[in-house]
Structure 1
Amino acid sequence: MHNDPHSHGLWEKTAPAAPPTQCLEGHLRTDVVVVGAGFTGLSAALHLAEAGISVAVLEAAQIGFGGSGRNVGLVNAGLWIMPDEVPAILGEEHGERLLQVLSAAPGVVFDLIRKHGIACEAEHAGTLHCAADRKGLKELEDRARQWQARGAPVRLLGREETGARVGTEAYLASLFDDRAGTIQPLAYVRGLACAAIQAGAKIFTASPVTGAEREGDAWRVRTPGGSVRTDWVIVATNAYTSGPWPQVRAELVQLPYFNFATAPLPERVLERILPGREGMWDTKEVLSSLRRDRQGRLVFGSVGALRGTGAAVHGAWAKRSLRKLFPFLDWIDFEDAWYGMIGMTTDAVPRFHRFDRNIIGFSGYNGRGIAPGTVFGRYLAHLVAGKVGEADLPLPVSDPREQSFRTLREAYYEAGAQIVHFAGARI
């Protein structure tokens, strides 16, 4: 995308083509405008169109250009933080409701994939959260206990079973989550776009929103090439926000995350590394993630940006780390590398905002965009359609609040990841 191999890497090479789209030219009238063609925006558009509500999606770049087309593809349940922390932050009613919604969210994703025949290498095989040390093991024990108290199908695996499932003796234990799995994320978001178009939605790419103003009882949403008069506006831009709602970007700290992909590996190697095709990540503060794609590549990622000195530092670290985990991969090399930005809130909990009358949106996925984005998009569609009210949403209405020292913190995280990876996995 945009002739940058570091934007979408392997996913751009292996995803089915995006549906044909064009930029907005002229003036339209629709019931709803969705700003942003990622998981949230396209899920909202799909469910609106299926309900017979006219909808136009306005995307500044291309379908899946932001985090939706760049992430590692882990379809996880819940949030990064512990389950018990969620009611403590949101209150008992919203907290437990959000946990219930996000516990079921991976199932919503895989159901949509089946329903619409989306070719996105879906593997509903679960995930493994791996304990890198004793502190990580305690974290997983607590997480398992808290989810099991809510009836979730998670279980703690010992060192031996973890080693057999991952292919390394590096981890003390792992938390297996049967709700979760992996997908090819760019293929999934393009599949959502195809399904939305088939249902009647209109999608316009290369059409950045430059303004939105009231026009009687409606809104006029403008792009460089035209405008749309609409009753509702859904803002679904998250970490890649620009344009008339800068408060979304201001409340998020951007955390860079990269992925490297190997060439397809021999079957004798694949029999030893994630043979059950689970996705995995570890409990380190600067975490690592690992998964396989359908062609037998390893996709290995961590925090950091592949720009400036970061490309060399993170690439060297990734090779060292894989060889340390799997000594039989002493010949490993990478064919693709890419990175993107995660939008982090102050408490690692997403936000629901009402920006103005009939202008709404969710944001702040904190690295958990696939399942929450899909299900939150459906909630937005149901809210517009009158199927639910704001009181029924999994999050309360909140006002955007700019994070202090945001730019400085973003620079610190990017530089800090390089420092950690420069020294990491050398012994």
Structure 2
Amino acid sequence: MLNDERSHGLWEKTAPPAPKTERLHGDISVDVAVIGAGFTGLSAALHLAEAGTKVAVVDAVEIGFGGSGRNVGLVNAGMWVMPNDLPGVLGAVHGERLLELLGNAPQSVFNLVDRHEIDCELERNGTLHCAVGREGLKQIEQRAEQWLARGAAVRLLDAKETAAKVGSNAFAASLLDNRAGTIQPLGYVRGLAGAAIGAGAAVYTGTPVMATEQSGKRWIVRTPSGTVSADWVVVATNAYTTSPWPELRAELLHLPYFNFATAPLPEGVRKTVLPEKQGGWDTREILSSFRMDRAGRLIFGSVGALRGTGMAVHKAWAARSIRKLFPQIKDVKFEAGWYGKIGMTSDSLPRFHTLAPNIISFSGYNGRGIAPGTVFGRLLAEHIVGKITEAELPLPVTVPKDQGLRAIREGYYEVGAQLAHMVGNRF
């Protein structure tokens, strides 16, 4: 996108084309204006349109330009926070409500893909959280115990079982989450846009929001070439938020994350690397992720930005790590490399905000945007049409809080990832 092969990489090359959209020209009136054409915004628009609500989506660039079109494509259940810790952070009511919602969230994604016949390389064979060393083993044992106590479809695999699933002997164990899966994320978000448009929503791209102002009980969303008048405004821009809501940016720490995609592996090798097409990631603090696409490419990622010296450093690290993790891949050749920004909150949990009367947002997905974004978008729609009250949402209303020293901390993460990847392999 924007002639930048490092923004969406492989996903831009292999996703079905986006539905035709245009810039907003002139003034329109709708019931709901949605800002941001990613998972959350388009899910909200789809469900609003299906409920008979007149809705318009505006995006500053293109459908899936932000994290929705750049991520690894792991459709995970839950968040990073341990299941038993959630009630302590959010309170018993919201904590249990969020656990139930996000535990079932991957199935909501799968249902939408099936119902709207979205071409996004969906694989429903689960994901693997892979333990590195004793500390990693303790972590996934604890996570497995807590999810199993809640009846979740997860299973702890020993080293031998893990090796068979991953195709590598690098891990002490793994947690197989059968609720989860993988998708081509840009294909999925474009499919959501097509479904929303088919249901009656309008989607405008190349249309940045400059300002909002209240006119009576309605809001006027101003763009360079037109306005949207609406009763409600949904802000669904997450880590790619700019004006006029700087407070959303202020509460998110940007963590850069990159991916490299190999050329399609030989058929014989393909049968030994993630043979059941589970996506995986490890327990290290600077984690690594790995998955296959439909054509047999290995997609390998970690923390870091592919700009400046980062491109060479992270590319060399990825090649070394793949050879170490999967020695059966004799010749590592990359077809694409890309990166984006993850919006991290102070406690690794998402946020629900009322930014002004009838202006609402979910943000802060902490690297878990696909399934949560999809179901949060649906809940925003249900709240707007009166199906659920604010008190029935899975997150309490909070006020955005600046994390402080963001520029220094974000620079530290980017430089620190380069330094970590300069030295040796990860496995």
Same fold (TM over 0.5): yes
Q: Distance in 1 between matches of 2:297 and 2:333?
A: 11
Q: Distance in 2 between matches of 1:254 and 1:407?
A: 9
Q: Distance in 2 between matches of 1:375 and 1:424?
A: 40
Report the TM-score, using the length of structure 2 for normalisation: 0.99
Partner of 1:326: 326
Residues 1:285 and 2:285 aligned together: yes
Unaligned runs of 5+ in 2: none
After TM superposition, give the deviation of residue 81 of structure 1 in Å: 1.6
Q: Distance in 2 between matches of 1:162 and 1:259?
A: 23
List aligned pairs for 1:263-282, cutoff 5 A. 263-282=263-282
Partner of 2:238: 238
Residues 1:200 and 2:200 aligned together: yes
Residues 1:137 and 2:137 aligned together: yes
Residues 1:174 and 2:174 aligned together: yes
Report the TM-score, using the length of structure 1 for normalisation: 0.99
**Counterpart secondary structure, 1:272:** coil
List aligned pairs for 1:361-400, cutoff 5 A. 361-400=361-400
Q: Distance in 2 between matches of 1:230 and 1:152?
A: 41
**Counterpart secondary structure, 1:275:** coil
Q: What do residues 336-372 of structure 1 show as CA deviations (whole Å, max 9, x unaligned)?
A: 0000000000000000000010000100000000000
Partner of 2:50: 50
Decide whether the 8 Å contact of 1:253 with 1:345 is kept in 2: yes
Partner of 2:123: 123
Shift of the 426–113 alpha-carbon distance from structure 1 to 2, 3 Å rule, reads closer
**Counterpart secondary structure, 2:104:** helix
Decide whether the 8 Å contact of 1:317 with 1:425 is kept in 2: yes
Partner of 1:221: 221
Decide whether the 8 Å contact of 1:208 with 1:243 is kept in 2: no
Structure 2: which amino acid aligns with 1:320?
R
Q: Distance in 2 between matches of 1:97 and 1:326?
A: 40
Q: Distance in 2 between matches of 1:44 and 1:192?
A: 10
Would you say how many aligned residue pairs link Structure 1 and Structure 2? 427
Shift of the 200–426 alpha-carbon distance from structure 1 to 2, 3 Å rule, reads closer
**Counterpart secondary structure, 2:129:** strand
After TM superposition, give the deviation of residue 330 of structure 1 in Å: 2.8
Residues 1:148 and 2:187 aligned together: no
After TM superposition, give the deviation of residue 426 of structure 1 in Å: 8.0
Q: What do residues 253-281 of structure 1 show as CA deviations (whole Å, max 9, x unaligned)?
A: 00000000011111100110011110000
Q: Distance in 1 between matches of 2:102 and 2:333?
A: 36
Q: What do residues 57-104 of structure 1 show as CA deviations (whole Å, max 9, x unaligned)?
A: 010000000000000000000001211111111011100110000000
Decide whether the 8 Å contact of 1:354 with 1:360 is kept in 2: yes
Q: Distance in 1 between matches of 2:276 and 2:411?
A: 38
**Counterpart secondary structure, 1:228:** strand
Partner of 1:165: 165
Unaligned runs of 5+ in 1: none
Residues 1:15 and 2:11 aligned together: no
Q: Distance in 2 between matches of 1:392 and 1:33?
A: 22
Partner of 2:315: 315
After TM superposition, give the deviation of residue 328 of structure 1 in Å: 2.1
Structure 2: which amino acid aligns with 1:52?
G
After TM superposition, give the deviation of residue 327 of structure 1 in Å: 1.4
Structure 2: which amino acid aligns with 1:346?
S
Q: What do residues 126-152 of structure 1 show as CA deviations (whole Å, max 9, x unaligned)?
A: 000000110000000000001111111
After TM superposition, give the deviation of residue 242 of structure 1 in Å: 0.7
Shift of the 405–320 alpha-carbon distance from structure 1 to 2, 3 Å rule, reads same
Q: Distance in 2 between matches of 1:231 and 1:20?
A: 26
Q: CA RMSD in A?
A: 0.8
List aligned pairs for 1:241-252, cutoff 5 A. 241-252=241-252
Structure 2: which amino acid aligns with 1:51?
A
Partner of 2:351: 351
Partner of 1:183: 183
Q: Distance in 1 between matches of 2:332 and 2:59?
A: 38
Q: Distance in 2 between matches of 1:231 and 1:422?
A: 52
Decide whether the 8 Å contact of 1:257 with 1:339 is kept in 2: yes
Structure 2: which amino acid aligns with 1:78?
G
Partner of 2:31: 31
Q: Distance in 2 between matches of 1:426 and 1:121?
A: 28
Q: Distance in 2 between matches of 1:211 and 1:404?
A: 25
Partner of 1:103: 103
Decide whether the 8 Å contact of 1:42 with 1:377 is kept in 2: yes
Q: Distance in 2 between matches of 1:191 and 1:42?
A: 10
Residues 1:405 and 2:405 aligned together: yes
Structure 1: which amino acid aligns with 2:155?
R
Decide whether the 8 Å contact of 1:234 with 1:360 is kept in 2: yes
After TM superposition, give the deviation of residue 326 of structure 1 in Å: 1.3
Q: Distance in 1 between matches of 2:49 and 2:225?
A: 24
Identity of aligned residues (%): 65
Partner of 1:297: 297
**Counterpart secondary structure, 2:231:** strand
After TM superposition, give the deviation of residue 199 of structure 1 in Å: 0.2
Q: Distance in 2 between matches of 1:322 and 1:82?
A: 29
